[in-house]
Amino acid sequence: MRRSYWIGRSLSGSLGVLSLAALTWGCDPGKADLDRCIDLRSKGEIEPAMEACRAAVAKSPNSNSGKAAAEQLAELNVEHIASLVREVKRNTSCTQAQIAWAGADAGDKQRLAELRDEACEGLFPKRAGTAEAPSAPSVVDAAVVAPDAGAAAKGDAAPDGAAGE
């Protein structure tokens, strides 16, 4: 009787360990993060998808989901860099259009204002006004408005000679 009790007890303990191992065998801690990464990427949300992939790799770097997340992360990095390059190119063309508008003759201002607004569309909120009102403030405009600001900042004498009185 005693022997059968011992066999039954050790057998149930072994079965418990085996059943626990079977339950955790299919469990991958990074799977949920990988699924979230893929879902966010399909929605076009690159930066949150990158964070989800990083989390999946951190949780299980050697599992199937960790390796798949690492591949997704590499592809997302390329997409992210490409979007940054597109943004820089767009900002550059907008800046060039603003500089061209600011240095133009009065006759060309209207045409250049339309080109500037087209190049800068979506970067700045639209402002109501004429062609002389830029859709976004520029460094060139600030220099034209206050040309003596630099002289006053350097401590040069005021134009009327009344400094210090």
Q: Report DSSP letters for 93-154, one per residue.
A: HHHHHHHHHHTS-TTTHHHHHHHHHHHTTTTS----S-TTS-SS--HHHHHHH-TTHHHHHT
pLDDT of residue 122: 81
pLDDT of residue 28: 85
Q: Dihedral (C-alpha) 81, 85, 87, 89: value to the nearest 10 degrees?
A: 180
Look at residue 131 and tell me whether its pLDDT is greater than 60. Answer: no
The overall average pLDDT reported for the chain is: 75
pLDDT of residue 123: 79
Look at residue 19 and tell me whether its pLDDT is greater than 50. Answer: no
pLDDT band at 76 (very low <50, low <70, confident <90, very high): very high
**Max CA-CA distance within the chain?**
117
pLDDT of residue 18: 40
pLDDT of residue 126: 64
Distance CA 9, CA 14 (A): 9
Burial of 131 (0-12, 13-18, 19+ CB in 10 A): middle
Tokens of 136: 């976004």
Look at residue 1 and tell me whether its pLDDT is greater than 80. Answer: no
Helix (H) or strand (E) holding 6, with range, is: helix 2-25
Look at residue 143 and tell me whether its pLDDT is greater than 90. Answer: no
Mean pLDDT over 15-19 rounds to: 44
pLDDT of residue 2: 60
Tokens of 82: 């490409």
- Tell which wins on pLDDT, 87 or 158: 87
Mean pLDDT over 39-64 rounds to: 94
Look at residue 121 and tell me whether its pLDDT is greater than 70. Answer: yes
Look at residue 86 and tell me whether its pLDDT is greater than 50. Answer: yes
Look at residue 45 and tell me whether its pLDDT is greater than 80. Answer: yes
